[in-house]
Structure 1
């Protein structure tokens, strides 16, 4: 331990810094204030290591930003003197020496980059020191929380580094060019008879028409009462993505197995979900599959093919119960790194279901509605961080069944928290239509109602659910207008709130 402590003391005495680069930048800046505007990144006083250099830079900023005055050797010295800080900055002689260095310096941007990079390295050092102290004295933090906080702090430094690039501030003209190029690409796809969708393709055509595919960074909520088919529909979408062609911009016949999906199943075990997927893929009744009541060779052949197919899928299932948003974030990041190392892309996260997630330890004393609000915001932040859509399943409140007559669900029926409605980009409801059901084992009609769509239309997608295969297909009968309700669509989005 003595050698370890000595090593830490030695490194603390030599934090990353470059005094010459700091002096050169200040000298050049005193000669020409406009140089800082040409940098491809932002530079602040906190980037300077030496306190006197930090102080000089602050007064340069003060003169330029607040007093609308030139910041040269004379004005900076006067500003420092007026505030009683000239001695702290090294005095007039030190300022004069910095100014003279401008005659020897040439590459302002390179020196500024050195200063900024050294500051990032110092931040990393400070955070790793704090992480080390937390490891030795975690207090009430669990191991998972320590890991998540450590990961979050390191990622924040990386985000700050990227966010400091001047390119984060863009003029509208810089944005219209790429958008116009994207429109041209879509036009060419339409002319070639290919899909114009811009997001992740679910292969439920009418749903894809409404959403243009699931969009990156979106939080999508799929809500229903128990046993309507939330998990089955989410598995259908995950299956379609894994089988290939999830990217609507790729060639339509693509089956490269490069689109990865992660399912966080807080209700059902990974084995149960796998059996459901096998039942759907092999077209074998799931009851027969569970009881191994498979007698014909054709069914065994389809099952063998289905197992081989599932083995190819880049699908991860985590069935940890009562998972917190911190644990989920850490595991999702880890899978994303694994997927990308294999040359694949993480395209979708599924959470089954939101109300079963646990609050972090420091929020467990709050009421459940507040906890769910925190979880909802956390899922939206995770979607933005990973740049993938998250499909989170949600329960509906029981009051929907207390009506005098059956009614379609609406946004106010979301269970436990109105924050879900605020955070979600898309909210969908599955509503079983009993008038089309002939029994628990028969196919029956289900309406997929899009109750909220932040960037597009709302409406209804008619579906047929096959319980024996836990599989959804779009209803041709309703789409052709043969039954009441076929008119639901973008042109009359409010009807289903009746």
Structure 2
């Protein structure tokens, strides 16, 4: 390929800005595509229309793809006619420009190489554009911490866009193209080779759900005092301590110290009441605490954030940083009704529904399961059997729609004196997208700030 750029009568070189670009490579890509249909397939694997610096080149590229998609020839004459039909021929100067592009390229076999150059320059331009957006955000006037968090999230998103544009595909897949991959996945399922989801900490729950999967939004709901926070912390503790995964708990209700006590109590089987009452801990308790701390600290990172006023934007920004530094396998948010949007909302139900939608998007973006806790309304207390229902979700709005799994926590002994089910709790799978609904009974060991499988010792 010649190093000389082809003169373009339709482009004002003297006054054009000079972000990173390679005009010669762009021209070579288009020339190769008009020379060979095979080159078109190679080029589209590397770049898309947004990677061209000169808009006229993007127009030529689109015209070539339109002709190629219809099975028509893509030589200069046909491309010229297509551009004229689109009203874009004047944009490139003259039809002669297309013939010059073809004549200058010695061989179409190097099309992929030319395309790589175009892609690299496009990435550098996007970096510069992201830097400009970040600079503008930095000069913006802000009023409070919520706005700072939103700006940091937008700045991170600007950088993420650069990476995503170069690492993701077009965003769609033809059904026929999925055949081999899905049949292979089906074989893996039947042969038992599928990697299980993140264990929940409860064998019966795992057998029904297969564990938590990346991108899932799991809503754990219950009336106050029934143990929904304890259940969610159990799941985070299991993921980190038992399986070496990275978990983060965004607690809008409990402090770091309270969560530390609960996690140690649960892992060491030391009564939480004794940890808070003077002169009650025995030497054996301190031994169990020390052993528990060793297990916790040798497991995967278990991260606690007790910022009292937290928005989804803050959670997203912090979660991204955690994932970059430690990896990330599970997010717990305790709880939805305590979150804020950073703006005055006219309708609290709409606001909470928006939180659930944003958390679902976050789960998909970061490819981790997100466990979000939610309050139930007083519906269960007004019914005779007291069992919660999906419709009891407080300020639910879109919660039922967004969640992949909804678990309702129910403890019969709370509502019935001398209950024959004392010490038990029901985890009601009121919604399970892609699987059966069911009720899993577990042992409540709230004196240790934990739940456990019924088969395990409760002492």
One fold, TM greater than 0.5?
yes
Matched residue of 1:434: which SS?
A: helix
Partner of 1:53: 57
2:390 maps to 1:385:
no
What is the rounded CA distance, in whole Å, between the counterparts of 1:365 and 1:393 in structure 2?
21
Partner of 2:253: 267
2:164 maps to 1:159:
yes
Equivalenced residues, count: 436
Deviations 1:423-452 (A, max 9, x none): 000001111102897689x96221111101
Alignment of 1:462-481 (within 5 A): 462-475=441-454
Partner of 2:3: none
Root-mean-square deviation (CA, aligned residues, Å) is: 2.8
2:289 maps to 1:291:
no
- My pick for the range that moved more, 160-169 or 426-435, is 160-169
Deviations 1:126-169 (A, max 9, x none): 22212212211246682211110111122123223223369965
Matched residue of 1:457: which SS?
A: coil
Partner of 1:175: 181
What is the deviation of 1:417? 2.0
What is the rounded CA distance, in whole Å, between the counterparts of 1:328 and 1:355 in structure 2?
15
What is the deviation of 1:299? 2.0
Matched residue of 1:70: which SS?
A: coil
Partner of 1:186: 192
Question: TM-score of the superposition, structure 2-length normalised?
Answer: 0.87
Conservation of the 8 A alpha-carbon contact between 1:224 and 1:429: yes
2:379 maps to 1:375:
no
Determine which of 308, 322, 325 is the counterpart of 2:312: 325
Conservation of the 8 A alpha-carbon contact between 1:463 and 1:475: yes
Residues 407 and 390 of structure 1: CA distance in aligned 2, closer, same or farther (over 3 Å)? same
What is the rounded CA distance, in whole Å, between the counterparts of 2:444 and 2:394 in structure 1?
24
Conservation of the 8 A alpha-carbon contact between 2:46 and 2:116: no
Conservation of the 8 A alpha-carbon contact between 1:433 and 1:444: no
Partner of 1:248: none
Unaligned runs of 5+ in 1: 1-11, 188-195, 246-257, 341-345, 478-498
Determine which of 347, 353, 356 is the counterpart of 2:335: 353
What is the deviation of 1:70? 2.1
Conservation of the 8 A alpha-carbon contact between 2:247 and 2:303: yes
Conservation of the 8 A alpha-carbon contact between 2:42 and 2:111: no
2:429 maps to 1:429:
no
2:120 maps to 1:117:
yes
Partner of 2:393: 414
Partner of 1:394: 374
What is the deviation of 1:184? 5.4
What is the deviation of 1:87? 4.1
Matched residue of 1:388: which SS?
A: coil
What is the rounded CA distance, in whole Å, between the counterparts of 1:199 and 1:426 in structure 2?
14
Residues 77 and 181 of structure 1: CA distance in aligned 2, closer, same or farther (over 3 Å)? same
Unaligned runs of 5+ in 2: 1-15
Question: TM-score of the superposition, structure 1-length normalised?
Answer: 0.80
- My pick for the range that moved more, 83-92 or 16-25, is 83-92
